[in-house]
Structure 1
Amino acid sequence: MSYRSKAFLFQHIKSILDFYEPTIIDSSGGFFQNFKDDGSVFNADRRHLVSSTRIVINYCRAYGLFGDEEFRRRAQHGLKFVEQYHWDEDRKAYNWTLSAGLPDDQANHCYGLAFVLLMYAAAYDAKVIDSSAPIEDTFALLESRFWLEDMGMYADEASADWSHLSGYRGQNANMHTCEAMLAAYEATAGEHYLNKAYSLARKFAVELADKSDGLIWEHFTQQLDIDWSYNKDDPKNLYRPWGFQPGHQTEWTKLLLNLHQHRPEQWMIDRASALFDRALDKAWDHEYGGIQYGFDPQGKICDDDKYFWVQAESFAAAARLAVATGRKSYWDWYDRIWDYADEHMIDKRYGAWFRVLDRKNTRLSDEKSTAGGKCDYHTIGACWDVLRIVQ
């Protein structure tokens, strides 16, 4: 069966959902977020805002695709948890992590708010909620707390009481905020969301990328100079890794082409193809297959592990490039990445994708999903995105 066929993509999304089906619902609220490869739950009390919102997005998209009322109920179940447990009315902020329903990290992260915005956009788009007000409310919170007008970007982190804004400036939170703005625009047709997505794309994929030879670096100083050393001693940091991230180059490819659908300008296609081409040229493993995690400023691989999300975002980017440019070579990349994923990353025994493999494609852990780290948002979302363009 062709990886491009609607039947395959629908079936693959359903197979991922089926992995979580028996145990994901916590009857006391929200979703379990930590799963072993066989589907058994561990750290049952642990909740992370990123997973809490992303799982809601998964079920909103599933409801939109399949029309199954159970998916709608699950999305509403997850929304209720975010609103009752993650949201702190007194602070007007979201709790970053929870243990047994109680906050244990209340730092404010733009990254988290980006996924709250995307969650509400997905819910409104799928008619899981009937008001767009939460989208606008979240946008207003982002603007008032994180937007840096003089820099044209969002700050990354603030203290729990909002009194202190971190000096760290990074691309990752801004990339996902761009993603959320596009989703908000598609759900509501609000031009201010599209304008914001456009400005973020220009800032990071052009202006700042031109400071690092056309590729997107992760970390910047408060003056927006490249910070080449940030987290060099912690290269596998979950949200702030060191090195050029091939998966983030290809995520920007996907976002630029999504933006191009709504406000077409040639630079978007040019930059999208350049980011993808250079990322795959550097990071594709010609010996063992798959896309490696990171390369250094000299272009040498600095982390040769294979992460699920990098493969997923990259096949979606390849599909978008194939459609946008008409070049068969991008469909070849799409099939090549899928062939690798099918052979190594997809768990044929229990379902869903393994989280991370070493260079020789050996599993590094028996943890399939972890709070904040994986809930198959990227894999479901990549299939969903390809369906949007092949349909």
Structure 2
Amino acid sequence: MADGADVIAPIAPKGGSWITSARHRRWLSDQGQRLLDFSKESRLPVGFGSLDTTGRMPDDATPDLVVTARMTHSYALGALQGLPGAVPLVDHGLEALIGPLKDHENGGWHDGSGRKQAYAHAFVALAAASAHVAGRPGAKALLKEIVTILETRFWSEDEGVMRESFAPDWSDEEDYRGANANMHSVEVSMALADVLDAPVWRERALRIVTRFVHEIAAEHDFRIVEHFDRNWTILKDYNEDKPDDDLRPYGMTPGHFVEWSHLLLKLEAALLAQGEGAPDWMLGHAEKLFRAGMRDGWKTDGNPGLVYTIGWDGRPSVKNRAHWAQAEAITAAAGLLKRTGRTEYERWYRTLWDYLDLHVIDRRCGSWHNEVDGENAPSERIYRGKPDLYHAYQSTLTPVLPLAPFLAVMLERTEAIGPVRGDL
């Protein structure tokens, strides 16, 4: 099969599908480039920061580790497509990650929380992997360093998951295990497996997925349980007093159900493409996760959009709609459509883009509203400003690309640009 072919999703939806339409693909490309152009304003003297809702940089803005890593990753994807302006921004992000944002005394990276968090370090690894594929100076050394940190500090071989966080000197491991950090660790593990030609990272991704989805979500009606202590006791009242926390909100997050859904599809594709074998439950679980997310999150308060969180009773907890949840649902619907050819996923794909176009894309100030409220009016209850490019931009790429390999590797192959990668 030709390099870059989608080995697990040979079913191409028949005529009439948006994802096979040249016109829709041009629309996606246009939207992606608009997102990239808008976020160029987030550049600071060191790294990248969060723009306000109008696209301006606040006077008191400071570099943010996660924003910097996500911008570096996103512009590396742009660089691999030959988009002007992208390469200098990748290099700018790398300079910050290699320099001021790094903890040169203890190792690892500062994220402003006072902790060394697996969540933030996963994005540093994602940035390093994509920049390395794009052939940027310094990326190889950064990738080697972050891989060592992930393996020696965060990966728990006994549990098959990532540890959550530590004090700056790597003492005081947090008494917590979280689905969010591990979900993004699945993404970066698949990236590392492809970029480093290291199957052990796919094995780790499968172990994380097995625990959080096959063993836990399958016992909870395919709802992703988010919060546990280190003994894997479910913390049902975790952050009950902070229901709109931006990383660890109370209850469950339907947007994460659909995000895990497409990660399962991508991991299944990656395993089969490498001849490593994939558990036969992966597709069925991916479909059930997607349906659970849309069942519990979509229009459950009467208005369109995927709500931020639900309580343990299944009812909406925070009715605001985060842009990233809609973007992840789009990626999942597109993946399921390619994987199965079923028209229900075509309907969802169109419905989600219709919603985003009418309620989330900000045609007055640019980019997307980071969130809207239950009436679909712009809001800043959960997130301030417009700091995020990563989720939105990837949703303009994933519908037209195969499920595997990693996005940067796929773009390198399809665009026939970029260096040959080698061992670190």
TM-score (norm 2): 0.84
Correspondence 1:346-385 to 2 at 5 A: 346-365=361-380, 370=385, 374-385=387-398
- 8 A Cα contact 2:94 2:138, kept in partner: no
Q: Structure 1's 320 and 191: CA in aligned 2 closer, same or farther, altered over 3 A?
A: same
Bigger strand fraction: 1
Whole-angstrom distance in 2 between the partners of 1:382 and 1:186: 20
Aligned to 2:331, which of 316, 320, 330?
Answer: 316
Deviation at residue 269 of structure 1 after TM alignment = 0.7
Deviation at residue 80 of structure 1 after TM alignment = 0.4
Q: What corresponds to 1:79 in structure 2?
A: 94
Deviation at residue 308 of structure 1 after TM alignment = 0.5
Larger RCO: 1 or 2 (CA < 8 Å, sep 6+): 2
1:279 maps onto 2:293 in alignment: yes
Aligned to 1:117, which of 110, 125, 129?
Answer: 125
Whole-angstrom distance in 1 between the partners of 2:396 and 2:325: 13
Q: The residue matched to 1:302 in structure 2 has which SS? A: strand
Correspondence 1:137-286 to 2 at 5 A: 137-264=145-272, 265=278, 266-285=280-299
Deviation at residue 126 of structure 1 after TM alignment = 2.5
Q: What corresponds to 2:85 in structure 1?
A: 70
Q: What corresponds to 1:101 in structure 2?
A: none
Q: The residue matched to 1:14 in structure 2 has which SS? A: helix
Cα shift readout 1:190-238 (whole Å, capped 9, x = no counterpart): 1122111111111111112234333211001221121111111111111
Correspondence 1:11-160 to 2 at 5 A: 11-21=30-40, 23-26=41-44, 28-31=45-48, 33-65=49-81, 67-97=82-112, 105-129=113-137, 132-160=140-168
The residue identity in structure 2 corresponding to 1:363 is P
Q: The residue matched to 2:281 in structure 1 has which SS? A: helix
Whole-angstrom distance in 2 between the partners of 1:84 and 1:120: 14
Q: The residue matched to 1:242 in structure 2 has which SS? A: coil
Higher mean displacement: 254-263 or 285-294: 285-294
Q: What corresponds to 1:291 in structure 2?
A: 306
Unaligned runs of 5+ in 1: 98-104
Whole-angstrom distance in 2 between the partners of 1:112 and 1:203: 21
Q: Structure 1's 130 and 160: CA in aligned 2 closer, same or farther, altered over 3 A?
A: closer
- 8 A Cα contact 1:94 1:106, kept in partner: no
Aligned length: 378
TM-score (norm 1): 0.91
Q: Structure 1's 44 and 367: CA in aligned 2 closer, same or farther, altered over 3 A?
A: farther
- 8 A Cα contact 2:39 2:389, kept in partner: no
Deviation at residue 69 of structure 1 after TM alignment = 4.7
Whole-angstrom distance in 1 between the partners of 2:221 and 2:294: 16
The residue identity in structure 2 corresponding to 1:379 is A
Whole-angstrom distance in 1 between the partners of 2:190 and 2:372: 31
Higher mean displacement: 352-361 or 210-219: 210-219
Whole-angstrom distance in 2 between the partners of 1:12 and 1:368: 22
Tell me the percent identity: 29
Whole-angstrom distance in 2 between the partners of 1:62 and 1:133: 21
